[in-house]
Amino acid sequence: MSIVNNKRGSQEKVAVVTGSSSGIGFETSLLLARKGFYTFATMRNLNKSQKIKDIAKNENLSLKVLQLDVTDDKSVKDAFRQINDESSRIDVLVNNAGYGVIGAVEEMSLDEFKSQFETNFFGVIRVTKEVIPIMRNQGNGNIINVSSVGGKIGIPLNSAYISSKFALEGLSESMRYELAQFGIDVILIEPGVVKTNFFENADVVINNNATTNNNKTSAYSQLNQKLFEGFKPMLNSSASSVSSDVAEVIYQAIGSTNRQVRYPVGKDAVSIFKMRQKLSDKEFENWIKESIFHKKSFIN
Ligand SMILES: NC(=O)c1ccc[n+]([C@@H]2O[C@H](COP(=O)([O-])OP(=O)(O)OC[C@H]3O[C@@H](n4cnc5c(N)ncnc54)[C@H](OP(=O)(O)O)[C@@H]3O)[C@@H](O)[C@H]2O)c1
């Protein structure tokens, strides 16, 4: 990757990361800065910026925090105006910001579905559209889209989240063809379970809109309970990952001379994809049911 002077007169490569207030985005921003990238660690709520700022200051890292809400046109434009004022290039964009909605299709409002897509899918497009012209002009760049195992397989009561990540996978695959001619690579990161705030931050709509039974309890509460019980051990399983594992995979992928299109992260993710390839659709469905509802490990 050729490097030109940026507007600060240095030759650092430049990275932009969304959703840097916690979890994978937090660790990725720090790792890229530690590895020498001038990193714009963006987040929607600057009240959450103190920790990353303190670490960056203590370690003397080239890391700047900027406000960026991926669902807000003005916020995205303002952030890139500031980035462009400081830097004439962007080498890496990590589209990481995202959250999950848990609920049955029947009980979720269309607005809840739309909000999920507004962040996890349209948010990626909104940010990526700011970056493409810059990377196209400089003749190179890496766009890293943080998808999920859920970008390839269905999970009960996760249809909004899963479909937003399936959409992200289709978007990324298609953009690869468009952008390769300009030296821009688009890759997908597909973690299994990662121990972050993701599960606490998930928007659980089960029982809130309990309109499917006459007695006003959700028709899906039993399924939800089974899912919850099934997922609990996975959060503590050694097969799952921590944020720094995902950050490391992102960093390694950026530097790779033989870059893959997709990077599963975690033993759980690797095992799930292996089984997906090996089994028929129905066999795979049964294996997923067994793994989740009978609390068997995803590792095979
Ligand atoms: N944890 C997992 O098991 C797992 C597995 C596979 C994929 N992923 C994916 O990994 C990515 C990061 O999640 P995480 O596990 O690190 O969870 P996390 O700790 O909850 O972090 C999510 C980040 O996204 C930010 N965010 C949410 N909505 C946003 C918006 N509208 N604009 C800007 N930022 C926004 C959050 O900001 P606030 O702090 O302001 O809420 C937070 O910084 C997500 O795309 C998720 O789908 C996670």
Q: Which residues line ligand 1 (CB under 6 A)?
A: 18-19, 21-25, 43-45, 48, 69-71, 96-99, 119, 123, 146, 148, 191, 193-194, 196-198, 201, 243
The pLDDT assigned to 66 comes to 98
End-to-end CA distance of the chain: 39
Cα distance between residue 251 and residue 116, in whole Å: 27
- d(CA 159, CA 145) in angstroms, rounded, equals 19
| Mean per-residue pLDDT of the chain | 92
The two three-digit tokens of residue 223, written as one number: 């399924």
- The catalytic residue positions are 161
* Whole-number pLDDT of residue 212: 53
Cα–Cα distance between 162 and 133 in angstroms, integer?
29
Q: Identify the pLDDT of residue 11.
A: 74
pLDDT of 1: 42
**What pLDDT is attached to residue 207?**
62
DSSP state of 241: B
Q: pTM (2 decimals)?
A: 0.95
Q: Do 209 and 224 touch, CB atoms closer than 8 A?
A: no
Q: What's the token pair of residue 18?
A: 């969304």
Task: Give the per-residue pLDDT at 3.
Answer: 46
For the chain, which residues score pLDDT lower than 70? 1-10, 207-216, 295, 297, 300
CA-to-CA dists, residue 272 to 117, 176, 255, angstroms: 24, 25, 26
- 92-110: b (≥16 Cβ within 10 Å) or e: bbbbbbbbbbbbbeebbee
**Residue of 20, 21, 80, 163 best suited for mutating to test ligand 1, as the one with most atoms within 8 Å of CB:** 21
**What is the reported pLDDT for 233?**
83
CA 98 / ligand 1 centre spacing (Å): 4
* Nearest alpha carbon to residue 41 among 33, 91, 124, 77: 33
What's the pLDDT at 235?
Answer: 82
